[in-house]
């Protein structure tokens, strides 16, 4: 089995890998430039953004990281570097997501949040009290640039909105389709964009944004990984929307629910193990969904 997996992930010549990554960098930047008025995404200010520097940096970082294990640049490692990822919510579990993904050199991120760092956010991530008052998405972009100094990071300072989310995910799908054609010319299978959902669920506006995110991901067939950290408990989810007939939000919540239910009721439906029993959830309603 191990040998079979190795054969499915061929080693690439370093120069070939660099050429593929450079093509991906240029395509990502060009598609963003053509659509930034529709997507509402801005490029994080950084004077070091450069295709050649980006390619040299992440390939050298990868090879040095894997050197102790005899690692080489493989098809799957290049695919991972070129997978566009939305980080919706940039603190707590959102921080853990973009920090871990960036350290593994996946370098086409979109960070989205609408709020500013508060004192209670600091214990949940590797920042300091001097960051209080900073915009969460801007701070996330800066943290990623500390790890990947030459990568183009796209930032949404207004958070998830039904005015822009379809255009943002459309950008990801467009890139993935065109990049997959480039990869296939090198004998490498295509890529699938992914979303990490850490949208806050403590207020109704957060739930409305979360539903719009999942609605658009469902329509664009982009899988979503979700994680929520409330109090001392955490819970993770996976929504494989790229699979045909996969229901929206596991079939537990629809647009009518978001319009009519309060936050506790919505959380109880999606996060029963995390939030515990909520007394004001209508018994018949809960039975219908938990049956």
| Domain map (residue ranges) of the chain | 10-251
Residue 215 has pLDDT above 90, yes or no: yes
% of the chain beyond a pLDDT of 90:
53
Confidence of residue 47 (pLDDT cuts 50, 70, 90): low
Residue 291 has pLDDT above 50, yes or no: no
- Quick one: pLDDT at residue 125? 74
Strand order in the sheet with 154-156: 42-43, 154-156, 108-112, 84-88, 194-197, 224-230, 233-239
Cα–Cα distance measured from residue 98 to residue 48, given in angstroms and rounded to the nearest whole number: 20
Q: What is the mean pLDDT of residues 213-235?
A: 89
pTM exceeding the 0.85 threshold for the entire prediction = yes
N-to-C CA span, the chain: 40
| 39-53, 58-72, 95-109, 262-276: least confident range | 58-72
Q: What is the mean pLDDT of residues 5-13?
A: 70
Q: In CATH, what class is 10-251?
A: alpha beta
């Amino acid at each position: 089995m191990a040998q079979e997996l190795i054969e499915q992930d061929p080693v690439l010549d370093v120069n070939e890998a660099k050429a593929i990554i450079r093509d991906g960098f240029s395509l990502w930047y060009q598609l963003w430039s053509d659509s930034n008025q529709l997507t509402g995404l801005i490029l994080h200010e950084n004077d070091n953004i450069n295709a050649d520097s980006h390619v040299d940096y992440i390939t050298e970082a990868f090879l040095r990281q894997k050197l102790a294990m005899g690692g080489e640049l493989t098809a799957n490692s290049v695919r991972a570097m070129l997978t566009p990822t939305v980080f919706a919510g940039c603190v707590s579990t959102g921080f853990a997501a973009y920090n871990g993904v960036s350290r593994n050199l996946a370098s086409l991120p979109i960070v989205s949040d609408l709020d500013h760092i508060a004192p209670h956010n600091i214990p949940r991530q590797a920042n300091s009290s001097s960051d209080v008052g900073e915009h969460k998405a801007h701070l996330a972009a800066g943290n990623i640039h500390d790890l990947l100094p030459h990568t183009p990071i796209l930032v949404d300072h207004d958070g998830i909105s039904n005015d822009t989310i379809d255009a943002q995910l459309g950008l990801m799908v467009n890139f993935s389709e065109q990049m997959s054609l480039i990869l296939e010319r090198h004998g490498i299978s295509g890529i699938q964009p992914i979303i990490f959902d850490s949208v806050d669920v403590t207020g109704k506006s957060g739930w409305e944004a979360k539903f719009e995110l999942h609605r658009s991901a469902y329509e664009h067939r982009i899988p979503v990984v979700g994680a929520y950290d409330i109090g001392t408990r955490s819970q993770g989810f996976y929504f494989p929307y790229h699979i045909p007939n996969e229901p929206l939000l596991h079939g537990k919540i629809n647009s009518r629910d978001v319009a009519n239910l309060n936050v506790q009721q919505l959380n109880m439906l999606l996060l029963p193990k995390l939030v515990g029993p909520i007394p004001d959830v209508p018994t018949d309603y809960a039975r219908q969904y938990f049956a």
